[in-house]
Amino acid sequence: MVNYFSSDFKLGILGGGQLGKMMLYETRKYDIQTLVLDPSSEAPSRISCDYFEQGDLMEYETVLQFGRKADVLTFEIESINIEALKQLESEGVKTYPSAATLEKIQNKAVQKEFYEQHNLPTAAFKRFPNLELLKSDVNEQKVSLPFVWKSATGGYDGKGVSVIRTEADLANLPDAECIAENLVPFKNELAVIVARNPSGEVRTYPVVEMEFHPTANQVEYVICPARIDNNVAEKARKLAENVSEAFEHVGLLAVEMFQTEDDKILINEVAPRPHNSGHYSIEASYTNQFEQQIRAILDLPLGKTDSKVGGIMVNLVGDENHEGEVLYKNIERIMGMEGVTPHIYGKKITRPFRKMGHVTIVNKDLGEARKIAEEVKNSIQVISKK
């Protein structure tokens, strides 16, 4: 067994955003040495690591040289140089999740084909190497409207995804490899985080539910546990576990799913890392997702994934009318509400819709938490200083 605690062991983390920052609370708790690579000198993870390096995550040589300093390497963002990861693996640097898994996930077309090959349920789709071929298929009615367009690469936080209802909608799409996916009517958007360590121990977190704004098409609350039937929840957890097994995944895998009108569960997409849908776990779970990620990639026993209390997460995104040095208006007011904890990621500049932090509301009574979450949402504003 490797001695990780207060030792010379070094964990390398590619990416220094908020996910890395929250992971560092856990490496500090365990006194595990960390190295962080991020393109920005202002990255939220520049503090709390043992060594910070500024560099491009897509640059082969930068990632290679950085990775050689680590005993185990992980990442908190998918956009990293895969070839460098592969080279590092061949040199004996343990990389979790693996380069092979990341490669399948990085490209959404490859990811979807992977589900098909493994008989894992997902919405039907067709793959296109470029926009031109998609357009001609639509024109020839080989692809029928409406459908969901997804860019094969580079999409996150809702970017790179569009619902195409008319041929005119095609005009604004970028020319890139993409898929056209059937538009499936669904009752709920759900997510399950699966943890798996190299020894094959697997644990799933409870199913969470995304509650959307009644009119704007935007997630307002992530709610744990999801307010769904137990048998549907069991089905979702089992499916997420199967996805993790199929990828032979090591570390956390966040599996986003649709619950259809007839209670089928379809995989939407996965993220091979701690995930926005698991932030509630810091306050609500026996083992939060960031500690679980550390346990998983270091082949330590996985922690209990149950919740102590109900949890709701609200994202703090920059107000659409503000850009500049950030001010969290009314943060004192929400801190006076019961069971409310803000998390401030440490980005100095707010921009419209930029993810600046999140707020967790915990309560033994989930309905009560839901009411308080609404008060939180109606009170706090992420604006810029005058």
Nearest residue (CB) to a copy of itself, 43 versus 80: 43
What is the C-alpha separation between 224 and 265, in angstroms, rounded?
18
Is residue 34 classed as helix, strand or coil in its secondary structure? strand
Kindly state whether residue 110 participates in binding a copy of itself, applying the rule CB under 8 A: no
DSSP letter at 27 equals H
- Does residue 386 belong to the site contacting a copy of itself (CB under 8 A)? no
Stretch of 94-102, 117-125, 172-180, 295-303 contacting a copy of itself, by CB under 8 A: 295-303
Residue list 228-247, contact with a copy of itself (CB under 8 A): none
Which one, 95 or 287, has the nearer CB to a copy of itself?
A: 287
**Is residue 341 a contact partner of residue 283, using CB atoms and an 8 Å limit?**
yes
Provide the 10 A C-beta neighbour count for residue 265. 24
- Window 70-99: residues binding a copy of itself (CB under 8 A): none
Angle CA(265)–CA(266)–CA(271) in degrees, nearest 5? 115
Compute the distance between CA of residue 87 and CA of residue 356 in angstroms, rounded to an integer: 35
Task: For a copy of itself, give the closer residue by CB, 160 or 225.
Answer: 225
Q: Which of 136, 166, 308, 378 binds a copy of itself (CB under 8 A)?
A: 308
* Nearer Cβ to a copy of itself (53/137): 53
Per CB under 8 A, the list member of 275, 279, 295, 322 interacting with a copy of itself is 295
Residue 59 to residues 54, 66, 103, 105, Cα–Cα distance (Å): 12, 11, 16, 19
Tokens of 364: 């033994």
Task: Please check whether residue 350 is in contact with residue 273, taking contact to mean a CB–CB distance below 8 angstroms.
Answer: no
User: In the set 150, 235, 249, 347, which binds a copy of itself (CB under 8 A)?
Assistant: 347
CA–CA distance, 363 with 386 (Å, rounded to integer): 36
Measured from the CB atom, is 213 or 333 closer to a copy of itself?
Answer: 333
Hey, what are 355's tokens?
């993810």
Identify the residue among 109, 300, 317, 376 touching a copy of itself (CB under 8 A).
300
Written as one letter, the residue type at 22 is M
Sketch the per residue contact string, 2 through 41, with a copy of itself: x for CB under 8 A, - otherwise. Answer: -x-xx--------------x--xx--xxxx----------
Neighbours of 198 (CB within 10 A): 14
Take residue 48 and report the two structure tokens written for it. Answer: 């709390």
Structure tokens at 157: 């936080």
C-alpha span between 243 and 118 (Å, rounded): 9
Would you count residue 108 as binding a copy of itself (CB under 8 A)? no
Of residues 273-292, those binding a copy of itself (CB under 8 A): 286-287, 291
Identity of the residue numbered 289: Q
Q: Which of 13, 19, 43, 48 binds a copy of itself (CB under 8 A)?
A: 48
Nearer to a copy of itself, 12 or 160 (CB): 12
Question: Which residue of 191, 265, 270, 331 would you call a contact of a copy of itself, by CB under 8 A?
Answer: 331
- Check if the beta carbon of residue 81 is closer than 8 Å to that of residue 103: no
Q: What angle do CA 199, 200, 204 make, to 5 degrees?
A: 130
Closer Cβ to a copy of itself, 158 or 301, answer by number: 301
Size of the site for a copy of itself (CB under 8 A): 46
Three-point CA angle 186, 352, 23, nearest 5°: 75
Residue placing its CB nearer to a copy of itself in the complex, 29 or 165: 29
Q: State yes or no: residue 365 binds a copy of itself (CB under 8 A).
A: no
Best CA proximity match to 186, nearest among 154, 158, 217: 217
CB-nearer residue toward a copy of itself: 251 or 339: 339
Residue 329 host element (H or E)? strand 324-329
Among 183, 346, 374, 381, binds a copy of itself (CB under 8 A): 346
* Closer to a copy of itself by Cβ: residue 101 or 287: 287
Which residue ranges make up the site for a copy of itself (CB under 8 A)?
A: 1, 3, 5-6, 21, 24-25, 28-31, 44, 47-50, 286-287, 291, 295, 300-301, 303-304, 308-309, 326-328, 331-332, 335-336, 338-339, 341-348, 362, 364, 385
